[in-house]
Structure formats: structure tokens, C-alpha cells
Amino acid sequence: MTNESAINIVNEHHESGKIDAVARVFLCEDILENGVDEWLCDLPDNNLSEIIELAEEKSRDFIQSLGSDESIDEASKLEHTRKRMIVLVKLVSDYMLVRELIHKQS
């Protein structure tokens, strides 16, 4: 499979609403940086670590900003954190779904 074919699969799933735009960016970036064949041979953990690092950084910044805002109660802070965690899980799920589809078609 070529990089172009793999990216076409990513774009098809994004345009149909099956995956998030952020997942699309990470998928395309990883395919282009490594080449689709190497990317498929690599352990998914190696690519997902960038997503997780970004999520940790954004969560830390977000929690710190909430911590300084005394007008927001603890329940609201937890709710915001819960929503962010759901977004992260969805992002990883989208990434892995499309990775598996590309792997099956290669």
C-alpha cells in the first residue's frame, strides 16, 4: 500500500464523520513521517504516546487554569475533566480503528 492510498482511507473516514479531525491529523502525520509500511510494522504504542503526551499536557494546563478560578466548584472541575478524558478515549479509538482498516487493506 502507498502512503497516498493510506491517507485516502483516513480522509474517507474523516469526511464520512467516522473519525475526529484530530485523529485524522495524527494518522496522516504518522503515515507521512514513517511511511505506511513502517508505520504498520511499528507498535501502535509508539504512535499513541504522542497523543497521550499531548493530552497530559493539555489536561495539566486545563486543571491548573481551573485551580486558579475560585468561581468553579469541584463538581464542575470533575465534569470538565471527565469530558476531556472521553475525548481522549475517542481519539485513540478513532486512530486504532483506521489503523486496523489500513492494515487489513495493505
Q: pLDDT for 79-92, tens place per residue?
A: 888 888 898 899 99
* Residue 99: closest CA among 49, 28, 51, 50: 28
CA distance linking residue 46 with residue 99, whole number of Å = 13
pLDDT winner (highest mean) among 44-48, 49-53, 62-66, 91-95: 91-95
Per the CB < 8 A criterion, the answer to whether 39 and 31 are in contact is yes
**3-state secondary structure at position 65:** helix
Domain that holds residue 37: 3-105
Number of domains within the chain = 1
Question: Above pLDDT 90, what percent of the chain?
Answer: 47
Query: Does the pLDDT value for residue 61 go beyond 90?
Result: no
Full-model pTM? 0.84
